[in-house]
Amino acid sequence: MGSIKSGLFISLDGVIESPETWHFDYFNDEMGAAVGELMGGNDAMLLGRQTYDEFAGYWPNADPDDPITGQMNGSRKYVVSNTLTNATWENSTVISGDVKTALTNLKQDTRLGTTGSATLVRWLLEQGLVDELHLLVHPVVVGHGKKLFADGAKVPLRLVATTTFTTGVLHLVYTPTAD
């Protein structure tokens, strides 16, 4: 049985944009283990167009001695986009058109994980396609930037797990629930 699990770094004020400017002060082995476990449990990555472009611009030329480089480049990747026609990063496939049906079919037997891709995650939540939402809430108010939750449909969630890291980061895990 497949699934879609979404994991995001998020500030107290809901910002998910540019975590490289506020996240690393809170990164430690606990968070690394949680992120590694989340990524390691997937058969493939599910990415939105912007995150795909950022990753595809970095990982193919990243340090080959870094084990994450091999994992990122070697993983199967599905890119949700109605504008991208050719995904050139190795092991990448574009999903367009009737995305909901395509992802519903794909997740029947594939464990998909999203990293970043806030617009995609919001849409997946609204479509009822996310099986687990992992928020790594950082104890910082960023004050500006793209937020995960913008105006949109109500999406009821149930908190199923919490972990507090020594840095003050909360790892919150939610699953969908009936309204």
Does the pLDDT of residue 150 top 80, yes or no? no
| pLDDT of the residue at 97 | 92
Q: Coil, strand or helix: which one is 135?
A: strand
Query: Which tens digit of pLDDT belongs to each residue from 15-47?
Result: 988 888 888 888 899 988 888 887 777 899 999
| pLDDT of the residue at 179 | 58
| Residue spans per domain, the chain | 3-176
Which position has the higher pLDDT, 87 or 179?
87
Strands of 49-148 (E only): list them: 76-80, 92-95, 111-115, 132-138
Domain 3-176 adopts which CATH fold? Dihydrofolate Reductase, subunit A (3.40.430)
Give the lowest-confidence range in 92-96, 130-134, 147-151.
147-151
Q: Whole-prediction pTM value?
A: 0.90
Confidence at 154, pLDDT banded by 50, 70, 90: confident
For the segment 67-94, the average pLDDT, to the nearest whole number, is: 91
Q: Which residue has the tokens 């999903």?
A: 95
Q: What percent of the chain has pLDDT over 90?
A: 63
Alpha carbons 46 and 89: distance in angstroms, whole number = 13
Q: What percent of the chain has pLDDT over 70?
A: 99
For the segment 66-91, the average pLDDT, to the nearest whole number, is: 90
Is residue 5 within 8 Å of residue 113, measured between CB atoms? yes
Q: Which residue has the tokens 């105006």?
A: 151
For the segment 94-108, the average pLDDT, to the nearest whole number, is: 94
> What proportions of the chain, in percent to the nearest 5, are helix, strand and coil?
30, 30, 40
For the segment 4-22, the average pLDDT, to the nearest whole number, is: 90
For the segment 164-170, the average pLDDT, to the nearest whole number, is: 95
**Mean of per-residue pLDDT scores for the chain:** 90
